[in-house]
Structure 1
């Protein structure tokens, strides 16, 4: 097993129980160690569905295009691109690139990647790419993408989760299972090891086309408890701690040259509800009562320490299709919530609901559940470890309510409503509004930005009434940063190790 140790505050050696001990400084290796609350799902980029996975995998794999810190499209494995017509785009590919196993990168890898992604409906990212009709190889370093009808988001799709380019020869010869055990990409860092629910370790790719990577090793540690992440930062066990509680910020800021960076991020907390016939939340009055019972501002102030912005939409500023009238807004009316439950037939005992949340959002869920109980709901609060929560999420096994933090790597309103399309909603929310479905399907192909924006704004206004989900607030990310790194958090929550520099002495 690789030992993480280095001048950047690496994870260090491990004790007999397999737990990391205090960081060591080798004086030579440059090691970057980042702590997150949850682990990756797997090393299959096309079968992941959370931001934490993507934030790790972007260091191992490359997209055809990248988003810079201002979300401008810049070259990745494609050096240039042009729109041939509304359904066809042509890409010139970078030459001289090798995968981590030495295989050369060519158009065949692009074709393999996107044919698998667009045709295998079992892949979690398939829904974002199934509009791809053909990927045609013009020559070894030129490909054309043909879509089923116009796609206003093709460039957005090619620079986000799922679009990581896979090694076709390696997977075709060895199989996907072998690839999952020894994943291979073209990125600046190569796979070293994965201890599930503990850590992912990467080492530098000395042959990276973008130049020699900054770090010798990069480790992503899984530390679910925020207080433990803070303690590890303060003892130099890690370099970056995500999700620092506001109550701990003073413990970090200025201590031994440590600091806290706070950044608005894309993530919005959703309280998603079943509209399945027969469920108590199928009644719109019950869903409205849930909305009115929860005081979003109080949760932001008391639990998040002000690090959030209440919202009635998940399409926040900076994303295409945002509706400003629903942002920085919330509803709270405890008495009306009680009245709505009586109107719904719960005058003598409120509806029983199971409310699920992962441990990362435990405090928020507890306060929200107490608010629901106060207006008459009988709440079974189900707090799950991250892996169990992910398992239930992927299998659509939640009951009436579940709390989910959702980001937006597309920077477009369509990303926020994909799960509520009729086919995707089956078994999860079972949401079915024909007007919303028509608007979403039309917007997917609308090449007129002004019309398309109005379609998504209309959807947001309908959601504010229908409430298949209610929005609590847009999160602000609090990151604890150790003295040996310079780091500015990104809006999309990605950890590009090449954008994180060793601190100047």
Structure 2
């Protein structure tokens, strides 16, 4: 098994090559014709389908891993985390709340429309002003986008904004074709999306696959592949089988128990790398039994995080009491790598809370959304049963789970794993209140202050104070930092990215 350090911000998922229409692998286990004059088709097996093509209305890495090949940001991050030009060539601050961006000229959307400042204004003001959009909370800091000329914009924030470049280089900030959407409507766009990226939309067979094809009008380097196929295969065993028989070129979320088998196969190898993703429980703090802090603490103390890591993840993972992992701005190291397992104390807390004879909670989990999510939910339910908490466990397929979570109908508690695409503590706390109803005034005051604080040292301390409070109040019970496991065809040059995003043109054949 190859392993990469936490500073390796290179490439995530990817794919090999194949002849168009050729479904049978050759003797080497790779699709025929790869790199030999035939059409180069890259196929990746994912654990779930995309949410859709509204770049502002999702918060999922898996969906963004498709979007990044179709759309562009103003700013992008290099493999080592540095900001680089994308649709913006340069930027500067003209006053504490105004950033000026010079845009790239000659860029075309896939439908032929030119990219201009009007598209920047339309895209960013849409996500910054429409509260119904999932990414609104991460962009509401933008007060206005002023057009200086066709290729110059001023982005004006409500207050000082220390992480604007981070916001503009992550999901939720892709540029949309304003003319097309204004003329045809957003529904027409969602059925036939167009961006400025190296690959354009071909088809989406819901719960099966998304297919993109290269475009000859891309402003950057020529696309390396003729076609990208993102297959949705929720079943772990099926993903592994498809990889090992040459049906796909890369498979994500390889079960730890299958990593050795993949690595020993003649044509495939297993890879693993760190992520910013933390698996956690989100608990309702305004209603039901989990509104009692003693019940939330009892749930935390009843869970043996080390046992979860050992039994379900083959030891790959790290227990944590915070969602902000090392390497993320605002991390508090003394809360990472620690857990509190004390079932006897958990029983005592339940007794003090008036549940000496036990209680029942409703728990929602998912299958195929995150590695071992179903098994983790079942393991936790069994542990809670040991201290007298009966669990009504509902396991949902990924899209159904997302619907219930966004609607706030997931019962008393749900399991989720969040990554940090901004590499800043501010991002994860955007889900705190929506997921749990938590509204501690002290926490809200600290987060509000940190959001606009340009003093990095003060801002870091504010985030660390928040983590100390949350570790005691437990609106979220953080479980473990996840490791990303992949299986790939050996003919690929591939390195996992810590942000788990798939940039197809960072993938090459050996």
Instruction: Give TM class, smaller chain.
Output: over 0.9
Shift of residue 26 of structure 1?
Answer: 4.5
Q: Distance in 2 between matches of 1:269 and 1:166?
A: 32
Check if 1:416 corresponds to 2:428. yes
Shift of residue 342 of structure 1?
Answer: 1.1
Runs (5+) with no aligned partner, structure 1: 1-5, 16-21
Q: Distance in 2 between matches of 1:412 and 1:131?
A: 15
Shift of residue 299 of structure 1?
Answer: 0.3
Shift of residue 420 of structure 1?
Answer: 2.2
Match of 1:353 among 345, 358, 361: 361
Q: Distance in 1 between matches of 2:310 and 2:246?
A: 30
Does the 8 A contact of 1:239 with 1:484 survive in 2? no
Secondary structure of the corresponding residue to residue 266 of structure 2: helix
Does the 8 A contact of 1:266 with 1:492 survive in 2? yes
Match of 1:320 among 326, 329, 334: 329
Check if 1:397 corresponds to 2:409. yes
Does the 8 A contact of 2:16 with 2:489 survive in 1? no
Check if 1:241 corresponds to 2:251. yes
Structure 1 residues 203-352: aligned runs within 5 Å: 203-277=213-287, 279-348=288-357, 350-352=358-360
Structure 1 residues 150-169: aligned runs within 5 Å: 150-169=160-179
Check if 1:177 corresponds to 2:184. no
Shift of residue 25 of structure 1?
Answer: 2.5
Aligned position for 1:193:
203
Q: Distance in 1 between matches of 2:76 and 2:20?
A: 30
Aligned position for 1:3:
none
Query: Structure 1 residues 256, 123: CA separation in 2 closer, same or farther (over 3 Å shift)?
Result: same
What's the CA shift string for 1:275-334, capped at 9, x where partnerless?
A: 114x10011110000000000011001101111111100100111000000001111001
Structure 1 residues 478-497: aligned runs within 5 Å: 478-497=485-504
Shift of residue 12 of structure 1?
Answer: 5.5
How many pairs align? 485
Match of 2:384 among 369, 372, 375: 372
CA RMSD in angstroms, aligned pairs only: 1.6
Query: Structure 1 residues 352, 160: CA separation in 2 closer, same or farther (over 3 Å shift)?
Result: same
Query: Structure 1 residues 383, 367: CA separation in 2 closer, same or farther (over 3 Å shift)?
Result: same
Q: Distance in 1 between matches of 2:16 and 2:463?
A: 49
Q: Distance in 2 between matches of 1:370 and 1:295?
A: 11
Match of 2:91 among 81, 96, 102: 81
Q: Distance in 1 between matches of 2:224 and 2:507?
A: 8
Secondary structure of the corresponding residue to residue 436 of structure 2: coil
Q: Distance in 1 between matches of 2:355 and 2:137?
A: 39
Q: Distance in 1 between matches of 2:458 and 2:204?
A: 46
Q: Distance in 2 between matches of 1:53 and 1:210?
A: 23
Does the 8 A contact of 1:312 with 1:470 survive in 2? yes
Shift of residue 246 of structure 1?
Answer: 1.2
Q: Which has the higher contact order (CA 8 A, sep 6+)?
A: 2
Query: Structure 1 residues 70, 23: CA separation in 2 closer, same or farther (over 3 Å shift)?
Result: closer
Aligned position for 2:399:
387
Query: Structure 1 residues 354, 289: CA separation in 2 closer, same or farther (over 3 Å shift)?
Result: same
TM-score, normalised to structure 2's length? 0.93
Q: Distance in 2 between matches of 1:297 and 1:259?
A: 27
Query: Structure 1 residues 121, 253: CA separation in 2 closer, same or farther (over 3 Å shift)?
Result: same
Does the 8 A contact of 1:319 with 1:413 survive in 2? yes
Match of 1:127 among 113, 122, 137: 137
Q: Distance in 2 between matches of 1:213 and 1:471?
A: 40
Check if 1:25 corresponds to 2:17. no
Check if 1:70 corresponds to 2:77. no
